Amino acid sequence: MQVNDKLVLLTGGSAGIGREIARQLHAKGAQVILTGRDPARLAAMEAEGFAVIAADLSHAGGVDALVAALGDRPIDILINNAGLGVAHDVRNSLPDPDAADGCLYANLSAPIRLITALLPRLRARPRAAIVNVTSGLAIAPNTASSVYCASKAGLRSYTMALRAQLAGEPIHVIEALPPVVDTQMTADRKTSKMPPEECARQIVAALEKGHDEANVGMVKLLRAVYSISPALARSVMRRF
């Protein structure tokens, strides 16, 4: 898909992977509207020439407010990138269920609600795309981030079903599966991390080439292991 002159709505676009996707799409001639929660980061992206909308997508009201703020602008590409991480490990103490609810809504319910709201205008475009950013953890979960893994696995399942539902329509449905990327969410991780610029590059390339999935970095290896032995892939990931 050619992104030049396309109007893109990118959630979670003021930092990390989203910020780099925004910059790379902009460099290719796309018009990008991005969302975020941090006023300072949004202001910095606005200063770079992006249209910005403040949006908290951890609840239904935040998604509805975003749709209202868009007005009747036509959207060619929707990228559901915004996400929340939450520690959820019952081995030492009981985790906060409210934090789990926010993570589940932001990572799963919000993309579903946003796609449902914007599908009529995507269908009205000659060619459109939906990109859902999940995670390698959607394939095989680690141990400590059980709720985050569940939310991303749910979005992966929804994305595959949505692709089948829209078969024959001019809307390309893409799933992007990043590995561990160097972002604020992974700041306390000591393992090797992919630079967000490279992760964004691979996601944008998948969009341009018309791929159904962007298996980024080490996720390619995880997918290969899973195709041979799902049990082995799950066993490896549970160590983290």
Active-site annotation, residues: 148
The answer to whether the CB of 152 falls within 8 A of the CB of 104 is: no
Beta-sheet strand order (sheet of 7-10): 51-54, 31-36, 7-10, 77-80, 128-133, 171-177, 213-215
- Write out the DSSP string of the chain: ---TT-EEEETT-SSHHHHHHHHHHHHTT-EEEEEES-HHHHHHHHHTT-EEEE---SSHHHHHHHHHHHTT---SEEEE-------B-TTTS---HHHHHHHHIIIIIHHHHHHHHHHHHHHTSSSEEEEEE--GGGTS--STBHHHHHHHHHHHHHHHHHHHHTTTSSEEEEEEE--SBSSGGGTT--S--B-HHHHHHHHHHHHHHT-SEEE-TTHHHHHHHHHH-HHHHHHHHTT-
Measured CA angle at 131 (ends 159, 115), to 5 deg: 65
The answer to whether the CB of 173 falls within 8 A of the CB of 161 is: no
